[in-house]
Amino acid sequence: MTPVVFLPALPELFLALASLGLLLIGVLAAPERTAKGIPLLGALALAVTLALVIQAPAGRAEAFYGMFVTDGFAVFAEALVLLAAIATLLAGLRFNAWQGIDRFELPVLVLLSVTGMLAMITANDLISFYIGLELQSLPLYVLAAFKRDSARSTEAGLKYFVLSALSSGLLLFGASLLYGFSAGTSYEAIGHALVQPDAMTAIGAVIGLVFLLAGVAFKLSAAPFHMWTPDVYEGSPTSVTAFFAVGPKVAALAVFARLAFGPFSGLAAAWHDVAWLLCVASLVVGGFAAINQTNLKRMMAYSSISHVGFALMGLAAGTEEGLRGMLVYLGVYTFMNLGTFVVLLGLGRDGAIAESLSDLAGLSKTRPGAALALTIFFLSLAGLPPTAGVFAKMFVLLPALHAGMPGLAILGIVMSAVACFYYLRVVKVMYFDEPGLPLDADVASGTQQAIFALAACVVLFLCVIPGPFLSIAGAAAHTLFP
């Protein structure tokens, strides 16, 4: 037997070992030292992993007998996930202490979940994909319920767990059908069997594909598999919601793209339809359902559903240009969405999280910096100039037009006009309403403010110098098109 190749998987192995090490330190060290030390060490481990990911030799490399693959596409998605995880760990420090959830298990679970996301992104086999998916999801259930004395938090955890278990079942059912009709679990074997499928194989494989993608769409919270999203976003502690909003979506979309352009390239018509349907449903549901929300976290949940719809629009186009658009969109989404949640991490009133729309009234007078940053993020989320949001939307709308889907592009434009209403309403409340009760002063911290200021700068200035970012995303998308 040939010896095992593991070097390309070095970042994943390092992160897994680092989380085990942090777990040991957390168990053995004194509790008052782990509360702050473990999150910082965790962020350091994630930063080292990020460096390992970026420094890896360019080009495609397989490891573990073809179970694992890394390429430019994987590096791009992994870098986004790691950046988001580092930012949430650092920005959530003060918030977690304030909410009494600053236990050392939280960063350890975040690290393990990120390990799962990296494993998903780099999976080259249905088995390693599924293990990565479960390693990603299981810590998320626990994190959602982490504030275990709060009924809403435990409800969020339980709801996510039950629905997610069902979706995992659907996904496995689809995977077993694919295995049955292609006699292989590796992406290459499936792709090979489905290049020119006969009629009978095609029916079975398409049903398998639909079930598999339904499971992925659940993790992506794309409509019509979005039911859990608002409750889980609202019930989870905000520091966890911030992590929820970015990492799992990037990982799930990366898996979707890798499956679509790899093993399922022989069934292009089938997955195009699935992506199209998810895209339309997510745009409509996310756009209209957010209008009536007065809770900011719920509103952001619906907003994230609609943004997933936009990212899927790039994928639905099915071209290299579309995939680049999806990656650009994901990059911009990471910064603007994370930035919004990091601002919310610093707002509290009377020991409770300030999360309703009225809590933001007059924020421009009490916290001008936070109000300005939120305005930038909301303008970007709405897709208004001069922010990165408008630029990201352009990069998914144009491929849809070029691929002959003008209807989809028009729907996207209409829905972003609808979305403008609820984003700008928040801006109006912040700038033109009178301030209510004062906000707690001790929730905001320097790190948290620095992180949202940095994110706001990226969102604001990405339009000015888009070149490097675009070429990185373009090169990453190109690796899936040999």
Partner 1 sequence: MIIASLLFYLFAAVCIGSAVVVVTARNPIHSVLFLILAFFNAAGLFVLLGAEFLAMILVIVYVGAVAVLFLFVVMMLDVEALAIPDTLKRNAAVGAGIGFVLVAELVLVASGWVSGGGTGASVLAIPGDVTNTQALGALIYTHYIYPFQGCGLVLLVAMIGAIVLTLRRRPDTKRQDVSTQVAKPRGVRLVKVPTGSGV
The residues binding partner 1 (CB under 8 A) are 1, 4, 9, 16, 20, 23, 63-65, 67-68, 103, 105, 108-109, 112, 115-116, 119, 125, 127-128, 131-132, 134-135, 138-139, 141-142, 145-146, 148, 157, 177, 181, 200-201, 203-204, 207
Nearer to partner 1, 123 or 415 (CB): 123
Nearer to partner 1, 29 or 127 (CB): 127
Nearer to partner 1, 11 or 331 (CB): 11
Nearer to partner 1, 115 or 479 (CB): 115
Nearer to partner 1, 20 or 414 (CB): 20
Work out how close the CB of 52 gets to partner 1 at its nearest, in angstroms, rounded to a whole number: 17
Nearer to partner 1, 270 or 443 (CB): 270
- Rg of the chain in Å (alpha carbons): 21
Work out how close the CB of 234 gets to partner 1 at its nearest, in angstroms, rounded to a whole number: 19
Q: Are 113 and 195 in contact (CB under 8 A)?
A: no
Residues pairing with 352 in the sheet: 349
Work out how close the CB of 302 gets to partner 1 at its nearest, in angstroms, rounded to a whole number: 24
Work out how close the CB of 274 gets to partner 1 at its nearest, in angstroms, rounded to a whole number: 15
Q: Are 178 and 190 in contact (CB under 8 A)?
A: yes
Work out how close the CB of 130 gets to partner 1 at its nearest, in angstroms, rounded to a whole number: 8
Nearer to partner 1, 151 or 437 (CB): 151
Work out how close the CB of 15 gets to partner 1 at its nearest, in angstroms, rounded to a whole number: 10
Peptide bond into 386 cis (omega under 30): yes
Work out how close the CB of 139 gets to partner 1 at its nearest, in angstroms, rounded to a whole number: 5
Nearer to partner 1, 105 or 231 (CB): 105
Work out how close the CB of 142 gets to partner 1 at its nearest, in angstroms, rounded to a whole number: 4
Nearer to partner 1, 53 or 178 (CB): 178
Structure tokens at 208: 């398998």
| Cα–chain center distance at 157 | 18
Residue (of 263, 267, 309, 260) closest to 285 by Cα position? 309
Work out how close the CB of 20 gets to partner 1 at its nearest, in angstroms, rounded to a whole number: 8
Nearer to partner 1, 129 or 422 (CB): 129
Q: What is the largest CA-CA distance in the chain?
A: 73
Work out how close the CB of 186 gets to partner 1 at its nearest, in angstroms, rounded to a whole number: 11
Give one word for 59, left, alpha or beta, with left for phi > 0 and alpha for psi -120 to 50. Answer: left
